[in-house]
Amino acid sequence: MDQLNKALFGEDFKWGVSTAAFQIEGACDVDGKGISIWDAFTAKKGKVLNGHKADIACDFYNSYQADIDLIRQLNIPNFRFSISWTRVLPNGIGEVNQAGIDYYNRVIDYCISQGIEPWVTIYHWDLPQILEDKGGWTNREVVTWFTEFVILCAKNFGDKVKHWMVMNEPSVFSGAGYFFGIHAPGRTGLKNFLPVIHHVVLSMVAGGKKLRELLPNAVIGTTFSCSWIEPRSDSKRDIKAAKVADALVNRLFIEPILGLGYPVNDIPVLKGLEKFYQPGDEKNMSFDFDFIGLQNYTREIVRYSFFTPYINASLVKAKDRNADITAMGWEVYPPAIYHIIKKFNAYPQIRKILITENGAAFPDNMTDDGVNDPKRVSYLQDHLKQVLKAKQEGCKVQGYFVWTLTDNFEWAEGYHPRFGLIHVDFDSQKRVVKSSGKWYADFLKG
């Protein structure tokens, strides 16, 4: 399969590019926008690499037309972006900020005018700080708050947006934000993590049900971050550690929404979730999504670890294995995406799979000739070959979205890792299409 050709994926295969509001928009306090947990988190010292903030980011708020023009020039037919909760509901609930609604309608209208299909993610990590002050995702009321946000999005954008994603990567924003404390809001420990898991599942399902009720013709999905997990050795302890890590990373949120419950047998500490259950929760934990978005970048090698509480498992870092790595320190291992597709394809409850994020950060060098990024080109090509392999073996994978359009604010890593198909000079906001962007454009042209 040396020759990669778009036609091999079939006519109905969805091709796109993905972004997120907080990472690109900037305009952090204009036109009535409220403060999100990430606005508050980045304002604290030592939370983000080099003290970077997303106050301006890629200035997509002001330059959306030019960036959407670039999407069109790159022949990309589908554009995934998210709605900033505090831009439309500055206080999290209650009073609507019409300026925010108008802004997203302009973005959606401009996409459509350029022949680009908008794919909207409702929640991409930017919880209103005012709700975090009331407990955020640890407070069961968040299900009601989130549902109000979903209703607002459906009523204001649903006549033009057909494709929806309820949430982005629940395992990451719950684990990094409420267990490890390395992402906003910076909370730690099991006492925070357990209620968050349950409230996120209930919210994801409530959001899906509300979209289906209000927009019966919409295509509704939600997305999960997935890493292919392998044991370091064939020892029983390493194999068990890998199984536990897989349950935590890949199964914790998908299985309840498929009606399978939490993977308590493999992670006994999850029994602690029971105290957060209320009558009727079981039926409010599952929903028949039209598609599941999978987001894969790498694999992880796992070993037994006596000193890791709750799971007795730890990762063997890619650099310690002398693996080929990205600027994030992640192993470049294209078969991971094939294995992940096969793994999720085995769930009969999943109707359709889309790869809603895949991409790589490498150090980019700007020269007079632009940005030549052969490693990113190879990464995309090699991963697409693995997606095609899975598809040709009968897997129900029907789309692929590159992460990401432009270099952006990469959460706790600030502006250091560059994932974009388009280079951004964050001082001048000048855009330069990288060779990877040109390759993707040519590929999509067929």
Q: How many CA within 13 A on the CB side of residue 363?
A: 2
pLDDT tens digit sequence for 292-329: 999 999 999 999 999 999 999 999 999 999 999 999 99
**Residue 357 a catalytic site member:** yes
**Whether pLDDT at 436 is above 70:** yes
Burial class (CB in 10 A: 0-12, 13-18, 19+), 135: middle
Q: pLDDT over 70 for what percent of the chain? A: 100
pLDDT tens digit sequence for 133-191: 999 999 999 999 999 999 999 999 999 999 999 999 999 999 999 999 999 999 999 99
Q: pLDDT over 90 for what percent of the chain? A: 99
Mean pLDDT across 396-411: 98
Q: Are strands 370-371 and 422-425 parallel, antiparallel or unpaired?
A: unpaired
| DSSP E strands, 112-259 | 117-123, 163-168, 219-231
**Residue 169 a catalytic site member:** yes
CB 145 within 8 A of CB 200: no
Within its chain, how far is the Cα of 57 from the centroid? 18
CB atoms within 10 A of CB 401: 26
Catalytic residue (one of 169, 230, 255, 410): 169
Residue 337, token pair as written in the block: 């995406």
Among 225, 26, 222, smallest CA distance to 121 is for 222
**Whether pLDDT at 443 is above 80:** yes
Q: Are strands 370-371 and 353-357 parallel, antiparallel or unpaired?
A: unpaired
Catalytic residue (one of 230, 300, 331, 357): 357
pLDDT tens digit sequence for 4-48: 999 999 999 999 999 999 999 999 999 999 999 999 999 999 999
CB 212 within 8 A of CB 224: no
Q: Which CATH number fits domain 6-226+331-445: 3.30.342.10, 3.90.1310.10, 3.40.50.2000, 3.20.20.80?
A: 3.20.20.80
pLDDT of amino acid 2: 60
